[in-house]
Amino acid sequence: MIEILTSGVALGVHVPGLLLADRIRERGGEAGVTVLERLLPDHKRVTTEKMKWAFHRDFRVALTGQRIATNPAEVAAEEAVEKLFASWRERRVGTLVVFSGFWLPLVARYVAESGPPPRVHLCHVDSVTSPSFLRTEVTGLDVTTVRLADAERGTIPCSIPVGREPAVPWAGRGQRLLVHGGGWGMGTYRERARELSARGFALDVVAYEARDVTDEAGVRYHMVDPAWHPWLDDGYPPFGRVRPGEPTHYTRGAGHHGSFDLARSAIAMVSKPGGGTLLDSLWSATPMVFLEPFGDHERRNAELWERLGFGVTLARWRETGFAVEVLHEAHRRLLRATADVPDYSTILTETC
């Protein structure tokens, strides 16, 4: 039994965990997913929700908040922790896959109390060690480090397929750009969407709240259901097309998150360079146009993707006059790359 440990602090951590669980199950393995915030008292989850809105509305607040973030595991409810540990023992969990470093103190405690101890994999979605791992120091824990992208070596050591369908051919794409700000709707994507729309591009924009939605020609808006949170269930975020003045029908993706279907049909994703977005880019063979990063780890993500020829910063793309051929060439490179990338779910099911 494999238990995947994620966090609701970012969908770029949580959704890859859901994807890994699905890929393991498709191969006949057993996998469960636990979100760290489920262990928190109710008032702490309310604080997390308020923080998300503040980060969405002001990117400067988000950047400051990232630098001073504390580990939510420090305030986990003891009763919830004991119940979780009992569940792992009952289900004979043999491998823990850690997507957020904030889990490490609890993992170390469980390993120390268990016999035989489970294997522990630290799965890094970003191309360098992200803040949750950097801020959590745990010594004496025997772990296997797994990287889905490696900025130091300039490689993709392994990955988690987002879907099993082949990439949409370039000629079959609708000449649209997908513009978003990651799971919390952060960064400068709204301002850049206006610039790209003015240049004549049709857009799919993932909005974070209803007030971001307009009836501008050539722009389609989509949203994750604002009432949904990762700690509510193990499903993908409910996702739907949003039209001003009309009710929104949210549906869950089958086998992957709903926004990936938009990525598959786009000629580029315009976004800050989060690790989860790199995963979408790779498996949709959709190049990235990078906006301002959320911290050093995202800056390194963008540098790696540019180095591999899979994307370009908005500033450099602007210098080409927004040439579509730049994107087409990156699409061709992505298509070639996926054939050689090992599947992490295969590695897990064959070794655990």
Binning pLDDT at 50, 70 and 90, where does residue 187 land? Answer: low
Statement to judge: residues 311 and 233 lie in one domain: yes
pLDDT attached to residue 77? 82
Statement to judge: residues 334 and 346 lie in one domain: no
Three-class SS of residue 244?
A: coil
pTM of the complete model:
0.90
pLDDT attached to residue 68? 40
Task: Give yes or no for residue 62 having a pLDDT over 50.
Answer: no
Statement to judge: residues 12 and 50 lie in one domain: yes
CATH number (domain holding residue 239): 3.40.50.2000
Statement to judge: residues 191 and 252 lie in one domain: yes
| Count of domains for the chain | 2
Statement to judge: residues 222 and 144 lie in one domain: no
Task: Give yes or no for residue 185 having a pLDDT over 70.
Answer: no
Range of the structural domain that residue 23 is part of? 2-162+342-351
Statement to judge: residues 153 and 202 lie in one domain: no
For strands 219-224 and 239-242, give the pairing: antiparallel
Statement to judge: residues 178 and 66 lie in one domain: no
pLDDT attached to residue 49? 62
Statement to judge: residues 7 and 101 lie in one domain: yes
Statement to judge: residues 132 and 235 lie in one domain: no
Chain segment 219-252, per-residue pLDDT in tens? 999 999 988 888 888 899 999 999 988 889 999 9
CATH number (domain holding residue 155): 3.40.50
Q: Tell me the average pLDDT of the chain.
A: 87
Nearest to 97 by CA among 189, 158, 31, 52: 31
User: Cis before residue 238, ω within 30 degrees of 0?
Assistant: no
Statement to judge: residues 145 and 178 lie in one domain: no
